[in-house]
């Protein structure tokens, strides 16, 4: 396949020297971009957009046409995997994902199965292949999946949640049922991510968006262990290159050392910890991705630049940092502020790589 013109992101993931700090943004393709909203309107619904390889390719590339980003991320969703298990997934306008047939009992778990990545989920692999062709080696393509715990929260609750009443009820009352659900998800995610690599993804990210709502004991037993199981089964090399994997537990700052032991190459960090402190804690075991508060993008460009500088200074000199927001870009951010953010990273970071 074509050679990469910009491998700064992959090099930083592997803690190899780079001339500057690479940058991309979680949710970089999405509702804050007017061109995204236009393509989505043409597709009909969000799920139809995900299922149309040509349109998914178009929206993946939209942020790269606007900004000199150092990586592209597959346009899809973490809920494609449970969505392939006959649970009636839909995205309700204004209220996010809904499962009409949620998983509540041991019998519901019995009905689940590991989806075939080139069967029920072939549309995702088609999108990966199409995006990889369209990128033509400009920057690497990141594939992704949700963590078993995070996927299970949506499957059991039936939608997004604030209190996690149902899944925590299952955790405390029927832990063996939850364990079976998480095991099916870990096997599904492993196959799904390996298929994304075979289809052309050059790095992977696991989004554990809701791991941070667990107690330390339960984080280990119900989130971390299943992510470690996934790492055991992942293809780590493809086309003669290592495929770096980024592990992001939102609110997981207290568990960085444990996360570094799973086999991840990179840990994603949110804005609730200082990235310099995080670096001291993980040493040379893993690279770090993050961690500007996404709300800084509501500020003016000078303030954005100052925040970027303070994060670069806190991380300090040397490689192993991928600049990003601490979570996804908000939908009401002006795209010009995102441009100022990316420019600031590219202008200020070379001083830390001499």
Q: Could you list the residues known to form a binding site for substrate, using ranges.
A: 27-31, 77, 154, 209, 327
Say if residues 255 and 215 touch (Cβ distance below 8 Å): no
Rounded (to 5) percent helix, strand, coil in the chain: 50, 15, 35
In the bound state with ligand 1CP, the residue whose beta carbon lies nearer, of 20 and 144, is: 144
Q: How far is the CB of 79 from ligand 1CP (least distance, A)?
A: 6
CB of 282 to ligand 1CP, least distance (A): 21
First-to-last alpha carbon distance for the chain, in angstroms, is 32
Report in angstroms how near the CB of residue 312 gets to ligand 1CP at its nearest: 23
For residue 31, indicate whether it is catalytic. Answer: yes
Is position 32 annotated as part of the catalytic site? no
Of residues 144 and 192, the one with the C-beta less far from ligand 1CP: 144
Question: Which is catalytic among the residues 20, 36, 154, 315?
Answer: 154
Given 7, 70, 77, 208, the catalytic residue: 77
Based on CB atoms, which residue is closest to ligand 1CP, 97 or 252?
A: 97
Report CA Rg, the chain: 19
Please confirm, yes or no, whether 226 is among the known catalytic residues: no
Task: List own/partner pairs for 307-311 with CB under 8 A and 24 or more apart.
Answer: 308/341, 308/344, 308/345, 308/348, 309/344, 309/348, 311/275
> Residue with the closest Cβ to ligand 1CP?
160
Nearer to ligand 1CP, 76 or 229 (CB): 76
Interacting residue ranges for ligand 1CP, rule: CB under 6 A: 26-31, 40, 46, 73, 75, 77-79, 91, 96-97, 144, 160, 207, 209, 328
The H or E element containing residue 35 is helix 34-43
Pairing of strands 245-249, 203-208: parallel
Alpha-carbon gap, residue 36 to 147, rounded angstroms: 26
**What are the catalytic residues?**
27, 31, 40, 77, 154
């Amino acid at each position: 396949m074509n050679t990469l013109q910009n491998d700064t992101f992959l090099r930083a993931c592997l803690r190899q020297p780079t001339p500057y700090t690479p940058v991309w943004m979680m949710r970089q393709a999405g509702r804050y971009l007017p061109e995204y909203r236009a393509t989505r309107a043409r597709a009909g619904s969000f799920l139809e957009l995900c299922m149309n390889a040509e349109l998914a390719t178009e929206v993946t590339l939209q942020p790269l046409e606007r900004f000199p980003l150092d990586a592209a991320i597959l346009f899809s969703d973490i809920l494609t995997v449970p969505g392939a298990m006959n649970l009636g997934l839909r995205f309700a306008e204004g209220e996010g994902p809904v499962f009409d047939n949620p998983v509540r009992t041991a019998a519901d778990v019995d009905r689940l199965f590991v989806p075939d990545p080139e069967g029920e989920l072939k549309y995702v692999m088609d999108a990966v292949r199409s995006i990889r062709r369209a990128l033509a080696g400009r920057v690497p393509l990141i594939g992704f999946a949700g963590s078993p715990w995070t996927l299970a929260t949506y499957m059991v609750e039936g939608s997004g949640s604030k209190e996690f009443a149902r899944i925590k009820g299952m955790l405390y009352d029927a832990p063996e049922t939850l364990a079976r659900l998480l095991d099916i998800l870990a096997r599904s995610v492993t196959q799904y991510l390996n298929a994304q690599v075979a289809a052309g993804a050059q790095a992977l990210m696991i989004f554990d968006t809701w791991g941070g709502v667990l107690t330390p004991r339960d984080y280990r037993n119900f989130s971390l262990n299943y992510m470690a199981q996934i790492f055991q089964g992942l293809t780590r090399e493809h086309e003669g290159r290592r495929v770096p994997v980024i592990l992001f537990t939102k609110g997981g700052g207290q568990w960085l050392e444990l996360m570094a032991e799973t086999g991840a190459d990179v840990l994603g960090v949110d804005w609730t910890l200082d990235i310099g402190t995080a670096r001291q804690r993980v040493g040379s075991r893993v690279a770090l991705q993050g961690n500007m508060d996404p709300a800084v993008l509501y500020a003016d460009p000078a303030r954005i630049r100052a925040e970027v500088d303070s994060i670069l200074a806190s991380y300090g000199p040397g490689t192993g940092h991928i600049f990003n927001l601490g979570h996804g870009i908000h939908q009401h951010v002006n795209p010009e502020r995102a441009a100022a953010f990316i420019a600031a990273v590219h202008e200020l970071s070379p001083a830390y790589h001499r």
